[in-house]
Structure 1
């Protein structure tokens, strides 16, 4: 489900110029972007500031999976329009409620069934979610039906709007299924009056664009379902974007959830939402609605694990940028291959999200190397993403301007799994000869925990030279790079905890429902000017 990032959160998280790593004190909240007076990916040493002591490692809200009773209570709030900031999206809470329905009894089971029912269940819906008048004859083609009512608050804004919805959904189907090669949604039998895929138009309010709900299990962990879209995307409720634009991106996002149910409806939630948000870019690349989630991506929150599912900040939406990074290098088919590896049918891989991605990336340098280079490249979005030149420049964790007199600086930190921290060294006074070098000593955890360190020399001509530091079994390594201030603007060091080790099936919201084994690992880097 697509949700808005509030203006307050966006203001708190976004700032800065385009393209370059920011180097400024971060005293408000750790790991979020701030201003940087640079451009075109060039770091100006005059802008380097020595930072205040590093803030404490942030703590995410508890990543434990809620109980059936808790899920029911959350679903009631969300569909009643009373969602709390900490509540998940309607799509995933309805998925969870559907999966946990068998654990409920009596009145609670009946409440769950009412929430999972289609809008055509009418006024008997306890949440007031059903249509209050009889629906008009649905508008159908050979694979889709759009359901709506002719009068009342749920009615479309004009007689031709249902046909517009049908055309948009059909175009989305063509792109995702016919052109990109994904499976069509699982057929639902006679639900909705025929076996075609059903979309319902309903007044959802201003925070909820649309959602999809699982309905009937098919083979393995695949299921049929239906989608609900806002009936008009009225400007009074959805001030960001035109009704047509909001319809297109919502249709792409939500239809892809229905496609995901043809692979594994119980897949890791971070992968479900991040790939659905990535799909928006394939469907409506000029709309750029998914940029509202950039503030909660790893570009600006690199200290938050890639697989985190946050009810408060929505990191799972922001990390569509990880898939954008990978597909810009290896093609859009990489996401399809990953879903096939994650699928549960006999011809699929049957893996959870990270092992599925590891399999796909095995002959492309591996997940470890790709993730490390993604993290380092996030300092200069223009170098990392097709549209990155339009993204604000992020902050780094710390920075130091070195000179002939002040030659050394050490930074240390703790990093959670699938997260990173970046530091910058700038060449200052007296370092104006080719002989000057920056010697970097990296200290990390043992190699079995998958640490990495990536050094990028940011030249004043705008070019970048990327080097992976070779770490020994103990996680330590050294590298020496040019540090002549006539050619080098800055040197960034990105320390990466690339661990994908978990105790799986521990009823969490992280990858494989597991608990990570390698959080809060210690890293350090010491830079020293040498000849």
Structure 2
């Protein structure tokens, strides 16, 4: 992966931010939380199980209406809840989770592959070397085996053995026409994992049998095979750590991983439209369920791209940061078993980085992604419009107090533009902020967009109560605008209540009022 050509510039932003400042970790473990979430059978859990069945049936029947990767999480939720089902519903769940039955099989040293040569699931017939294994199957073997080797070489756990299912204990890859149902592929598990843990599980994967252009009009068939294999096999790896982990974290890191392995395919760019780049006001750890899915969890890969560009230490060709987060999230017997944001905070702290400061740096960098991401300019990373723009002038030097209501792990940006009478370079802008107490994880970053040269990016120093100010250059002769990015990096949750955020919970930090005022002065 190419590294940011402007890391030195971003370092100017992150150095004052990325200093450990007393990280306060939550104490609820993911194991205890998942056990609580599992708990005893109740009418509410039975209803949730029926909803999970309906979601799985919908995605498997192709109701997504576009090529999608939703099946893995939908089926995973069904696996987690299937014991709550009875009668016909339980039988329907078993059918949804059944492995495909295909006529042909072959195994490599790492995985076993299954395919058909006739019927609706038939792979393309070409067999250039006349060895009896179709070319497409050989391409799938080479691709998935290489994916597995890359992850293993980078220090990730390999998928767990599944006994004799599929013929032997190796991970099984089934090639079927899932494109007909609007899917790239999926991985799931048919292991019965007890509600009380441990939470690691084996996996099997289903990939499309040809990725033909009529079903997948973007990228070549090989490119779609590559990124799907990288994405879905990473889910199989994740299951070997914790298949009860937060789904936003599963999908965001899997989407990050596919880009790390196949950076030139760039299939994950499609998700930036619903990422923190485009929607900074939506919490980073949002899981958008099947009833309101706009791909939020896929777009959240950009956070891990930002972090690994800033902390690029690697093993086996992949940054170690995300791997170490999964090691902290490990729910196997005797492991740490932190939930998603706990794992993120812990691994950053291990590297001397404060998570609040890192998120603030991320939010600020997203205002100029073309400068602060290695591929930001070439791949036209989107930029959200400011939450508000105020033009100041010699007749209106004071913006008065402006307020933004900002949810957790989200941000809002106010832009101040020098207008008439403020052309002289002698003009300054005094930015004052009034935020909740500093301990809540709120902060503010000022970006001065100069007419030439690099922007100036500064953190507003805060007192304990959340007040602070900063004075920067403002005259229109040298400055196009000044932005103040108000950041709520709060990570306090009420866990395991079925919420859409980390620890499958709800945030205690949403709806924070952040105030900013800007005054032009000399």
Same fold (TM over 0.5): yes
The DSSP-based 3-state class of the residue aligned with 2:189 is strand
Aligned to 2:35: none
Aligned to 1:153: 120
Aligned to 1:47: none
| C-alpha distance in structure 2 between counterparts of 1:521 and 1:502, whole Å | 14
Q: Residue deviations 1:195-225, cap 9 Å, x none?
A: 1111001111253100001222577110001
Aligned to 1:393: 383
Q: Residue deviations 1:172-214, cap 9 Å, x none?
A: 1121112x11110011111100111110011112531000012
Aligned to 1:67: 48
| C-alpha distance in structure 2 between counterparts of 1:392 and 1:416, whole Å | 21
In the alignment, structure 1 residue 93 sits paired with structure 2 residue 84: no
| C-alpha distance in structure 2 between counterparts of 1:394 and 1:387, whole Å | 17
Tell me the CA shift for residue 406 of structure 1: 2.1
In the alignment, structure 1 residue 340 sits paired with structure 2 residue 327: yes
In the alignment, structure 1 residue 185 sits paired with structure 2 residue 149: no
1:308 to 274, 286, 289: 286
Deviating more after overlay: 298-307 vs 424-433:
424-433
* Greater relative contact order (CA < 8 Å, ≥ 6 in sequence): 1
Tell me the CA shift for residue 84 of structure 1: 7.5
Deviating more after overlay: 282-291 vs 340-349:
340-349
Aligned to 2:11: none
Q: Residue deviations 1:380-411, cap 9 Å, x none?
A: 11222110113233311111222222212143
Structure 2: give runs of 5+ residues left out of the alignment. Answer: 1-43, 126-133, 313-318
RMSD over aligned Cα, in angstroms? 1.9
In the alignment, structure 1 residue 375 sits paired with structure 2 residue 363: yes
Deviating more after overlay: 100-109 vs 403-412:
403-412
Aligned to 1:319: 300
The DSSP-based 3-state class of the residue aligned with 2:203 is strand
1:414 to 386, 390, 405: 405
CA contact (8 A) 1:139 1:162 kept: no
Aligned to 1:521: 512
Aligned to 1:176: 151
Aligned to 1:8: none
Aligned to 2:342: 355
Q: Residue deviations 1:10-46, cap 9 Å, x none?
A: xxxxxxxxxxxxxxxxxxxxxxxxxxxxxxxxxxxxx
Aligned to 1:135: 103
Q: Residue deviations 1:257-303, cap 9 Å, x none?
A: 00000111111111000000001111110011000001000000011
Deviating more after overlay: 303-312 vs 239-248:
303-312
In the alignment, structure 1 residue 448 sits paired with structure 2 residue 439: yes
CA contact (8 A) 1:211 1:254 kept: yes
Deviating more after overlay: 227-236 vs 211-220:
211-220
Residues 106-121 of structure 1 mapped to structure 2, 5 A cutoff: 106-120=87-101
Report runs of 4+ in structure 1 exceeding 6 Å deviation: none
Aligned to 1:22: none
Taking a change above 3 Å as real, the CA distance of residues 348 and 468 of structure 1, as seen in their structure-2 partners, is farther
Tell me the CA shift for residue 489 of structure 1: 2.0
In the alignment, structure 1 residue 494 sits paired with structure 2 residue 478: no
Aligned length: 452
Aligned to 2:470: 479
Aligned to 2:496: 505
Q: Residue deviations 1:94-134, cap 9 Å, x none?
A: 111111111112222121111111011xxxxxxxxxxxxx5
Aligned to 1:268: 246
1:211 to 183, 186, 211: 186
| C-alpha distance in structure 1 between counterparts of 2:393 and 2:335, whole Å | 57
2:456 to 465, 474, 484: 465
Q: Residue deviations 1:416-439, cap 9 Å, x none?
A: 111110111122333333431100
Aligned to 2:204: 226
Deviating more after overlay: 414-423 vs 321-330:
414-423
Q: Residue deviations 1:21-74, cap 9 Å, x none?
A: xxxxxxxxxxxxxxxxxxxxxxxxxxxxxxxxxxxxxxxxxxx99700111111
| C-alpha distance in structure 1 between counterparts of 2:65 and 2:145, whole Å | 34
CA contact (8 A) 1:217 1:224 kept: no
Tell me the CA shift for residue 88 of structure 1: 8.4
| C-alpha distance in structure 2 between counterparts of 1:406 and 1:113, whole Å | 68
CA contact (8 A) 1:269 1:509 kept: no
| C-alpha distance in structure 2 between counterparts of 1:116 and 1:393, whole Å | 40
Tell me the CA shift for residue 445 of structure 1: 2.0
Deviating more after overlay: 228-237 vs 345-354:
345-354
The DSSP-based 3-state class of the residue aligned with 1:108 is helix
In the alignment, structure 1 residue 428 sits paired with structure 2 residue 406: no
CA contact (8 A) 1:417 1:498 kept: yes
CA contact (8 A) 1:455 1:494 kept: yes
| C-alpha distance in structure 2 between counterparts of 1:313 and 1:487, whole Å | 40
2:57 to 76, 79, 92: 76
Q: Residue deviations 1:145-187, cap 9 Å, x none?
A: 1100110110111321111100010111121112x11110011
| C-alpha distance in structure 1 between counterparts of 2:65 and 2:137, whole Å | 31
Structure 1: give runs of 5+ residues left out of the alignment. Answer: 1-63, 121-133
CA contact (8 A) 1:139 1:163 kept: no
Q: Residue deviations 1:456-480, cap 9 Å, x none?
A: 1122223022211122233221111
| C-alpha distance in structure 2 between counterparts of 1:71 and 1:391, whole Å | 34
